[in-house]
Structure 1
Amino acid sequence: MNNIVQFENVGLRYGTGAETLSDVSFTLARGAFYVLTGPSGAGKTSLLKLLYLAQRPSRGLIRLFGDDVVTLPRDRLPVLRRRIGVVFQDFRLVPHLSAYDNVALPLRVMGHEERDIEAPVSEMLAWVGLSDRASARPATLSGGEQQRVAIARAVIGRPDVLVADEPTGNVDPDMAERLLLLFEGLNKLGTTIVVATHDIHLLSRIPNANLMRLDRGRLSDPTGALRYPPLGEGGAL
């Protein structure tokens, strides 16, 4: 199955207001890298919530890994969520856990033995430059450090899909470059990456990135340079 995500005429409405997302249709190919752009208020975070199953659409079809998540029983959603890594804009670290334990959490949830956890977690903390902060709790970390812990936690389990909401927004340019290399490395291992960002300059630093532009709740192609493939067909957006 080349396409692991499929949206067809998806709409999302909060309460009785106007739709936040309207008639959104696209597919995500296995192992591809996507950059979701658009102005503030365009609906990027709402679209990501649908991708990582924090929200169900008001209408339309969403398939993840071949399952129709709109009609899927709620007790089956956690199994799908474990295949999706998420970097939240507000980090969502567990406050009473150390940086090490926050990063280790997905592996523990997946049932890994403690003896198999130490090496990959230590390696990941070293990669994001936080080896010396492994025992620190989130409240004692800077915003950039919390962001790096959140990214390490999201990628530690090598998810099938990684969804990242403004992942480089709280780090310096050098660390942003390093984090992008981490995403690229994960992508080369087969993970589908979706990065939402205001920084379109990121595109120049990501080889073979596919652009998805959201404007007022709709996917658009203002340049004419990109074409979205019909549902059910392979290829990048």
Structure 2
Amino acid sequence: MSAETDSIVQFDNVGLRYGTDREVLSDISFTLYPGSFYFLTGASGAGKTSMLKLLYLAQRPSRGMIRMFGHDVITLPRSRLPAFRRRIGTVFQDFRLVPHLSAFDNVALPLRISGMSEGEIRKPVTDMLNWVGLEHRSHARPETLSGGEQQRVAIARAVIARPEILVADEPTGNVDPEMALKLLRLFEALNRLGTTVVVATHDVHLLRKVPDSLIMRLDKGRLSDPTGALRYPPRREAAAP
């Protein structure tokens, strides 16, 4: 099977600039394979957040080609983008919780959008809040939560629907080391179920916590490939979803 048909995401010579400024990403080419775990690293300002925006379809590139789920997403009609985005779980640095909704309702949002009934929603959302240690804060609104608690709600919301791709921007930046490790184990568990995971982080200690992970490194808008992550599929078989 070819890399193109076997991949879940493919970037070819992608460039990104904002307005008339110089490119923030240049000649980005890589392939992401189903069921793999990737760390995206690089110094502050290297372009990590910009690359994630391309991955969760919040930004179109200035040049190059992006294929996702077997489709060219650059030429995809805007009317079809929401359906594609529902296949991607995203953890933002600024959380983006809905302010008038409780922690429970924020986490439940992807399931409600997918059409699940209220009876089906309660158990998985309650279990997820228990996992991230927020069962006692399920009725709290975001404004009453600490930064670390908001981060955990955002992560729970991103993974609750078992997305095909999880994109996380510094997901452990607002939690203590013990909770950071627990959240990383949650990402690993989701990965074992078949989700392709991409975690952007500047914390080099995290890179050693997931033995089967692959590393992509950005430097001044260009991508290097220290582990062969960009050229070859992982050796291990992804677990069936």
Shorter-chain TM band? over 0.9
Count of paired positions: 231
- CA offsets, 1:72-101, max 9 Å, x none? 000001110000000000000000000000
Match of 2:164 in 1: 160
| Contact persistence 1:160–1:192 (CA under 8 A) | yes
- Scaled by the length of structure 2, the TM-score of the pair is 0.94
Q: Give the alignment partner of residue 48 of structure 1, picking from 47, 52, 56.
A: 52
Cα RMSD, aligned residues only: 1.2
What's the counterpart of residue 120 of structure 2? 116
- What pairs up with 1:124-143 in 2 under 5 angstroms? 124-143=128-147
More displaced 10-residue stretch of structure 1: 199-208 or 12-21: 199-208
Q: 1:220 matched to which residue of 2?
A: 224
Aligned equivalent of 1:85: 89
| Distance in 1 between residues matched to 2:97 and 2:8, nearest whole Å | 28
Unpaired runs of 5+ in structure 2?
236-241
Aligned residue number for residue 30 of structure 1: 34
Query: How far does the alpha carbon of each residue in 1:110-169 deviate from its partner, in whole angstroms, 9 at most, with x for none?
Result: 010110000000000000000000000000000000000000000000000000000000
C-alpha offsets along residues 33-59 of structure 1, whole Å, 9 cap, x if unaligned?
000000000000000000000000000
Aligned residue in 2 for 1:19? 23
Question: 1:103 corresponds to which residue?
Answer: 107
**Judging changes above 3 Å, is the alpha-carbon distance between structure 1 residues 175 and 211 closer, same or farther for their aligned structure 2 residues?**
same
TM-superposed CA distance for 1:220, in Å, is 1.6
CA distance change for structure 1 residues 123 and 201 in 2, over 3 Å: closer, same or farther? same
Q: Given residue 96 of structure 2, which amino acid in structure 1 is its aligned partner? A: R
Tell me the TM-score normalized by structure 1: 0.95
Change (3 A) 1:236 1:7: farther
Deviation at 1:227, TM superposition (A): 2.8
Q: Which runs of no fewer than 5 residues in structure 1 stay unpaired?
A: none
| 8 Å Cα contact 1:10/1:58 also seen in 2 | yes
The structure 1 segments of at least 4 consecutive aligned residues displaced by more than 3 Å after TM superposition are: none
Q: Matched residues in 2 for 1:3 and 1:104: separation?
A: 30
**C-alpha separation between the residues in 2 aligned to 1:229 and 1:122?**
37
Is the partner of 2:30 in helix, strand or coil?
Answer: strand
